[in-house]
């Protein structure tokens, strides 16, 4: 057994054991958040107001014994409220906004689907670390694509049209008149479709190298009635060859690219002389110590398992990572020939940057 000199204080050991137990509890319980979302348990609790395990079982058709154990776990974690005197449960409004109401501006339940995909890909990630090679997004479990799109859609629906686009100088006026917009790394097309709905006189093209995501995006465009002013194409950020765009968007994806400088260089050539780039990136400080917090911890985990491996799987393989920070992004923009980078807006989880040639 390894001996430490001096040995750690018992209080330090106890405190860290407590932290690990808390993390284990969260890891185990995250599965049950997914269970609750997929079986409609959270939504049923909203509809019922207060409930017992029996009434929630009747409302959802889920066996009472399973519902009882699920409720106990959720109460232990503070995800549902428990009245010991009445032996009833309720989903408080704050929890409902985060876990049940899909159109809430803080709906976060799909993030647990992303976490599930990482566990399913654990063996691949271990081998990626061991070999030093990359792992493309397309090689991950499909739940990563669905979970990421659902999780990001909340922020895009809340902020993209209402806050981020208006924060760009003169862009909304162009979009209202009719502009050409490219959405790079569009995934399932959530951001592309939201913009297309808001600005029907403009045309939007969503680009992604992942065939499956583009197929889904095309289906979503049909469902949302925006096929008239959208197109979705299978192309990487360094392959698209269209020109004369008023706006090019990178929504939470520039850091995933193997060659972000090359991608921005190509975009600069594809913009009109007065065009702009909207760059949305995970919020991060420029120094590691600024990011040693729960949000940074979450982003560094996602970066280690998906973002950085994807970058390393592509040409150049810069490996920018999901916590690049504004200064590194500014440097990349300058290398690509952009003369100005301006922080247009921010949220607790995103930096919104405007690039101009």
Rounded-to-integer distance, Cα 77 and Cα 216, Å: 35
What is the reported pLDDT for 61? 99
Both tokens assigned to 115: 């976490």
What is the reported pLDDT for 295? 96
CATH architecture of the domain covering 10-99: Orthogonal Bundle (1.10)
Q: Please name which of 263, 264, 253, 280 lies closest in space to residue 345, comparing C-alpha atoms.
A: 280
Residue 191 has pLDDT above 90, yes or no: yes
Rounded-to-integer distance, Cα 312 and Cα 310, Å: 5
CATH superfamily, domain at 111-356: Vaccinia Virus protein VP39 (3.40.50.150)
pLDDT band at 66 (very low <50, low <70, confident <90, very high): very high
Rounded-to-integer distance, Cα 74 and Cα 31, Å: 11
pLDDT tens track for 210-225: 999 999 999 999 999 9
What is the reported pLDDT for 1? 64
> Cα 211 vs. chain centroid, distance in angstroms?
19
**Average pLDDT taken over every residue of the chain:** 97
Residue 104 has pLDDT above 70, yes or no: yes
Percent with pLDDT over 70 in the chain: 100
Average pLDDT over residues 102-113: 95
Residue 26 has pLDDT above 70, yes or no: yes
pLDDT band at 3 (very low <50, low <70, confident <90, very high): confident
Average pLDDT over residues 290-312: 98
Residue 44 has pLDDT above 80, yes or no: yes
Residues 6 or more apart whose CB falls under 8 angstroms from that of 107 comprise 97, 98, 99, 101, 154
What is the reported pLDDT for 5? 80
What is the reported pLDDT for 153? 94
Nearest 5°: the CA angle 188, 250, 162 is 85
Residue 355 has pLDDT above 70, yes or no: yes
Q: Where are the domains of the chain?
A: 10-99, 111-356
pLDDT tens track for 128-173: 999 999 999 999 999 999 999 999 999 999 999 999 999 999 999 9
pLDDT band at 261 (very low <50, low <70, confident <90, very high): very high
pLDDT band at 20 (very low <50, low <70, confident <90, very high): very high
Q: Which helix (H) or strand (E) holds 281?
A: strand 271-282
Average pLDDT over residues 333-350: 96
3-state secondary structure 143-167: HHHHHHHHHHHHHHHHHHHHHHCCC
> Cα 195 vs. chain centroid, distance in angstroms?
18
Cβ pair 104, 66 in contact under 8 A = no
């Amino acid at each position: 057994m390894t001996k430490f000199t001096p040995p750690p204080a018992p209080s330090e050991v106890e405190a860290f054991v407590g932290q690990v137990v808390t993390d284990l509890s969260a890891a185990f319980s995250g599965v049950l958040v997914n269970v609750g979302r997929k079986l409609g348990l959270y939504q049923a609790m909203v509809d019922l107001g207060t409930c017992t395990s029996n009434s929630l079982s009747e409302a959802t058709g889920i066996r009472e014994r399973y519902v009882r154990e699920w409720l106990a776990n959720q109460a232990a974690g503070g995800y549902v409220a428990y009245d010991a005197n009445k032996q009833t449960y309720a989903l408080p409004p704050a929890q409902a906004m985060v876990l049940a109401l899909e159109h809430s501006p803080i709906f976060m339940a799909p993030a647990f689907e992303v976490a599930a995909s990482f566990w399913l890909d654990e063996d691949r990630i271990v081998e990626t670390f061991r070999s030093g090679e990359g792992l493309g997004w397309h090689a991950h479990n499909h739940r990563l694509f669905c979970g990421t799109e659902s999780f990001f859609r909340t922020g895009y629906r809340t902020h993209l049209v209402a806050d981020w686009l208006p924060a760009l100088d003169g862009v909304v006026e162009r979009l209202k008149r009719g502009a050409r917009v490219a959405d790079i790394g569009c995934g399932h097309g959530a951001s592309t479709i939201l913009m297309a709905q808001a600005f029907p006189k403009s045309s939007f093209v969503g680009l992604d190298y992942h065939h499956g995501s583009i197929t889904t995006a095309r289906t979503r465009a049909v469902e949302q009635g925006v096929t008239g002013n959208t197109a979705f194409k299978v192309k990487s950020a360094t392959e698209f060859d269209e020109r004369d765009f008023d706006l090019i968007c990178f929504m939470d994806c520039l850091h995933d690219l193997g060659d972000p400088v090359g991608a921005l260089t190509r975009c600069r050539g594809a913009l009109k002389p007065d065009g702009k780039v909207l760059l949305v990136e995970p919020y991060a400080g420029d120094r590691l110590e600024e990011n040693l917090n729960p949000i940074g911890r979450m982003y560094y985990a996602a970066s280690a398992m998906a973002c950085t491996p994807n970058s390393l799987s592509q040409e150049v393989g810069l490996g920018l990572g999901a916590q690049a920070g504004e200064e590194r992004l500014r440097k990349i923009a300058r290398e690509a020939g952009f003369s100005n980078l301006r922080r247009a807006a921010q949220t607790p989880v995103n930096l919104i940057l405007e690039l101009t040639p």
